[in-house]
């Protein structure tokens, strides 16, 4: 008897429990991938396992559905392995320890992996059944979604004939996800020349910000430490001439930077108390402007003794400050198709100086490809006009909202019949695997949905069993009507 054997739908929880016994953190997916291969072999189903361990399993349509348009069932096999500090499970080698409490499934001391093991369990249960009517199925299980969608990026989609996809990697029952942002990383550089200068040494620091994810949390209006540092330097330099020695801020291009620091040289006879007064005023301005989003923002200057330092030449220093002041940042445009959706944004995530160069890294997102390209060009134009340049990497496509989507219409209709209310149609300002599939399968009509989960990617992760049952019935009804 398994721990989940009393739960319905029995076949889904049967496979979910099996999956939970197999360690399957990102980067450790050979065993779960081989498990899916055995599943397909035992049932005589055609399958493809690629070098990355991605799996495709094919099943013909059932009676009356032989000639229906094929449907992709998709999810990812890998999970985020997180555990409590006192938990002794070796997640590279052991499965998780399931628990059920008040209809909520969790794993003792660790993440559960409902994200996205439940998708694999749903698909295997449908592939295994002989009493569920459905069109020809193409089940696609990817690896390493949680560490940059590596499996989906590497996947050869040419064996897929379907242009209808049900992605089961959402964790809010009642929401249908129908679009996501594409993205690109951009790194700007301005070559630097230096000279040995003397003056009063000082350090300017912006700190105390909340930061956050540059996609999901860009709509929170939080301050960007690098931008505030640039603004402070520009204002300060009007009354108190400064020479820049170094700049440093942020850790990742996809995280809003929480602090930033500049080391400077001031005139040897600069009045510290006047400068401190000006800095204090600016701190008050920032605390007022960001009183809701970043109430603890600080702006502070510390002074050291006079001396010599390697300073950036004044003309280049001026260009760097101009760049920081003029970089677009944050939300650029909201969607007019989906209320409340950020359509295009960017985040200045990291800035640094070396002996030779000032560099700044951005994460750019948009659910409209051309807006993403235009924003790259805006940055490039600015960098070039300031004697610098811009390079891009890591581009991934948007899953653009389809004004006309027969699959979405059907799924709304089935939802209304089953739940007696309308689902929420949603798009997100971050990347999901559907974007990569939409890029590879022209004309793809895709909806992402799933049962309720809370606390994913943390040991507090729970999966709602009753929700799993409703989404199971919902999925089967959608398949039935895709005749």
The residues carrying an active-site annotation are 78, 145
Beta carbons within 8 Å of 301's beta carbon, 6+ residues apart? 202, 203, 204, 205, 275, 276, 279
Closest approach of Zn ion to the CB of residue 463, in Å: 12
Q: Which of residues 369-408 bind Zn ion (CB under 5 A)?
A: none
Q: Which of 17, 18, 138, 169 binds Zn ion (CB under 5 A)?
A: 169
Cβ closer to Zn ion: 343 or 448? 448
Binding-site size for Zn ion (CB under 5 A) equals 3
Q: Which span sits near Zn ion by CB under 5 A: 111-119, 256-264, 285-293, 468-476?
A: 111-119
Cβ closer to Zn ion: 410 or 430? 430
Closest approach of Zn ion to the CB of residue 103, in Å: 22
Q: Which span sits near Zn ion by CB under 5 A: 43-51, 165-173, 349-357, 458-466?
A: 165-173
Q: Which span sits near Zn ion by CB under 5 A: 37-45, 113-121, 231-239, 313-321?
A: 113-121
Cβ closer to Zn ion: 18 or 461? 461
Which is nearest to 211 in space by CA: 253, 256, 250? 256
Cβ closer to Zn ion: 76 or 372? 76
- Asked if residues 182 and 398 have their Cβ atoms less than 8 Å apart, the reply is yes
Closest approach of Zn ion to the CB of residue 145, in Å: 6
Backbone angles phi, psi at 142, to 5 degrees: -100, 170
Closest approach of Zn ion to the CB of residue 149, in Å: 10
Closest approach of Zn ion to the CB of residue 217, in Å: 18
Cβ closer to Zn ion: 75 or 230? 75
Cβ closer to Zn ion: 388 or 435? 435
CA distances from 58 to 49, 71, 72, 263 (A): 12, 10, 9, 61
What x-and-dash track marks residues 54-93 binding Zn ion by CB under 5 A? ----------------------------------------
Closest approach of Zn ion to the CB of residue 170, in Å: 8
Closest approach of Zn ion to the CB of residue 334, in Å: 26
Centre a 10 Å sphere on the Cβ of residue 392 and count the other Cβ atoms it contains: 15
On the CB side of 382, how many CA atoms lie within 13 Å of its CA?
20
Closest approach of Zn ion to the CB of residue 300, in Å: 41
Q: Which span sits near Zn ion by CB under 5 A: 46-54, 164-172, 366-374, 383-391?
A: 164-172
Which is nearest to 283 in space by CA: 349, 219, 209, 211? 209
Q: Using alpha carbons only, how large is the chain's radius of gyration in Å?
A: 27
CA distances from 92 to 49, 145, 146 (A): 21, 17, 16
Cβ closer to Zn ion: 116 or 452? 116
Q: Which span sits near Zn ion by CB under 5 A: 161-169, 176-184, 339-347, 475-483?
A: 161-169
Q: Which of 17, 18, 82, 115 binds Zn ion (CB under 5 A)?
A: 115
Cβ closer to Zn ion: 143 or 368? 143
Reading across the β-sheet that carries 137-142, which strands appear in turn? 46-49, 55-59, 137-142, 71-76, 164-167, 445-448, 175-180, 424-428
What x-and-dash track marks residues 194-233 binding Zn ion by CB under 5 A? ----------------------------------------
CA distances from 170 to 42, 88, 135, 318 (A): 30, 30, 23, 47
Q: Does 116 bind Zn ion (CB under 5 A)?
A: yes
Q: Which span sits near Zn ion by CB under 5 A: 6-14, 115-123, 195-203, 266-274?
A: 115-123
Q: Contact positions toward Zn ion, by CB under 5 A?
A: 115-116, 169
């Amino acid at each position: 008897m398994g721990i989940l054997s009393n739960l319905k739908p029995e076949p889904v929880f049967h496979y979910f429990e099996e999956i939970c016994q197999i360690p399957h953190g990102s980067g450790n997916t050979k065993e779960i991938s081989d498990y899916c291969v055995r599943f397909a072999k035992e049932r005589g189903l055609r399958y493809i396992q690629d070098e990355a361990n991605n799996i495709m399993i094919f099943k013909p349509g059932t009676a009356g559905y032989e000639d229906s348009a094929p449907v992709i069932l998709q999810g990812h096999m890998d999970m985020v392995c997180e555990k409590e500090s006192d938990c002794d499970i070796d997640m590279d080698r052991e499965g998780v320890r399931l628990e059920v409490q008040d209809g909520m499934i969790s794993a003792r001391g660790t993440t559960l992996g409902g994200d996205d093991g439940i998708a694999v369990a749903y698909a295997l249960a449908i592939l295994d059944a002989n009493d569920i009517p459905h069109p020809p199925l193409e089940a696609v299980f990817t690896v390493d979604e949680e560490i940059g969608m590596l499996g989906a990026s590497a996947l050869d989609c040419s064996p897929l004939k379907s242009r209808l996809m049900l992605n089961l990697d959402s964790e809010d029952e009642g929401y249908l996800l129908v679009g996501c942002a594409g993205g690109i990383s951009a790194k700007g550089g301005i070559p630097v020349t230096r000279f040995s200068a003397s003056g009063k040494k000082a350090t300017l620091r912006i700190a105390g910000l909340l930061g956050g994810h540059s996609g999901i949390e860009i709509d929170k209006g939080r301050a960007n430490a690098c931008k505030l540092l640039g603004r402070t330097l520009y204002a300060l330099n009007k009354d108190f001439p400064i020479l820049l020695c170094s700049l440093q801020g942020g850790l990742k291009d996809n995280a809003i930077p929480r602090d930033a620091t500049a080391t400077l040289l001031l005139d040897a006879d600069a009045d510290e108390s006047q400068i401190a007064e000006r800095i204090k005023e600016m701190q008050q301005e920032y605390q007022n402007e960001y009183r809701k989003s970043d109430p603890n923002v600080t702006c502070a200057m510390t002074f050291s003794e006079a001396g010599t330092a390697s300073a950036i030449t004044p003309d280049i220093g001026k260009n760097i400050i101009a760049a920081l002041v003029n970089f677009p940042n944050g939300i650029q445009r909201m969607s007019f198709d989906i209320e409340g959706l950020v359509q295009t944004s960017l985040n200045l995530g990291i800035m640094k100086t070396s002996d030779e160069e000032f560099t700044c890294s951005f994460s750019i997102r948009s659910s409209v490809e051309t807006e993403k390209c235009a924003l790259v060009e805006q940055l490039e134009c600015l960098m070039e006009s300031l004697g610098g340049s811009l390079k891009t990497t890591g581009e991934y496509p948007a899953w653009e909202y389809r004004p006309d989507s027969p699959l979405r219409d059907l799924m709304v209709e089935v939802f209304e019949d089953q739940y007696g209310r309308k689902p929420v149609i949603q798009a997100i300002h971050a990347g999901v695997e559907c974007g990569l599939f939409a890029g590879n399968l022209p004309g793809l009509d895709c909806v992402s949905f799933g049962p309720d989960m809370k606390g994913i990617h943390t040991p507090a992760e729970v999966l709602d069993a009753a929700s799993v049952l409703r989404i199971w019935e919902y999925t089967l009804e959608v398949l039935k009507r895709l005749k």
